[in-house]
Amino acid sequence: MEFLTSHGSDLLFYLFSAFAIAGALGVVTLRNPMYGAISLLTTFLAVAVLFLLRHAEFVGIVQIFVYGGGIMVLFLFVIMLVNLHKLPQMRLFSGQAPLAGVLGLLLALFFGYFLLQARFLGPAFSAPESFVSVNGQVLGNSQAVSWNLFTQHFIPFEIASIFLLVAMVGAVVLGRRQ
């Protein structure tokens, strides 16, 4: 029991990273895109928990809202709209699947090399001061993020809103019946 209380967040990390990787494997291996989308939802929620464990509370909740809510509904809606009637006889992987496997393996060697060289320290503190404080006043993660966003990163924020407008117009034009 003492082990659970002292290592609870570590155990949660291992549990939910296993969920995330299992969901990702489901996305690339399941034949039916509907099952793949549900598998992707598992990954999104597990990754949100990983964010929460690193004291990124605001980003974790945004992850659940935007990915688990918006993007997932978009995917499910399109999967239902596109009637995939000849699914069973279609081959799952294209002819370049072996090449893709080699690409994944090369990526594994590349990243593994750097991961073996890099040694990062564990967490030295439970919750970083800068994650929750605004002007030296301890408020919360959402307040700290929004203060940072609206003071130091205001121009990128406005560009992101223009980007969303352009994407929305583009999606409407592309989906319009000619």
Partner 1 sequence: MFEVTTNHYLVVSFLLFAIGVFGIAARKNMITVLMSIELVLNAVNINFIAFSYQLSDLTGQIFSIFTITVAAGEAAVGLGILIALFRLRETTTLSEVADLKG
**Window 54-113: residues binding partner 1 (CB under 8 A):** 54-56, 58-59, 62-63, 66-67, 70-71, 74-75, 78-79, 81-82, 84, 90-97, 99-101, 103-104, 107-108, 111
Residue 133, φ and ψ in degrees, nearest 5: -110, 140
CA dihedral sign of residues 32, 37, 40, 46: negative
Quick check: 131 and 54 in contact, CB under 8 A? Answer: no
- In the complex, the smallest distance separating the C-beta of residue 117 from partner 1, rounded to whole angstroms, is 11
131 binds partner 1 (CB under 8 A): yes
Q: Please identify which residue in 89, 119, 135, 155 interacts with partner 1, judged by CB under 8 A.
A: 119
Assigned token pair, 161: 């809103």
Shortest Cβ 138–partner 1 spacing (Å): 14
Contacts of partner 1 in 21-50 (CB under 8 A): 21, 24-25, 27-28, 33, 36-37, 40, 43-44, 47, 50
Please give the Cα distance from 20 to 42 (Å, whole number). Answer: 7
Amino acid at residue number 13: F
Could you say which of 120, 135, 136, 137 contacts partner 1 (CB under 8 A)?
120
d(CA 130, CA 132): 6
Considering the complex, what minimum distance in angstroms separates the CB of residue 106 from partner 1? 10
Token couple for 83: 């009637």
Shortest separation between residue 44's beta carbon and partner 1, angstroms? 7
Distance CA 20, CA 47 (A): 6
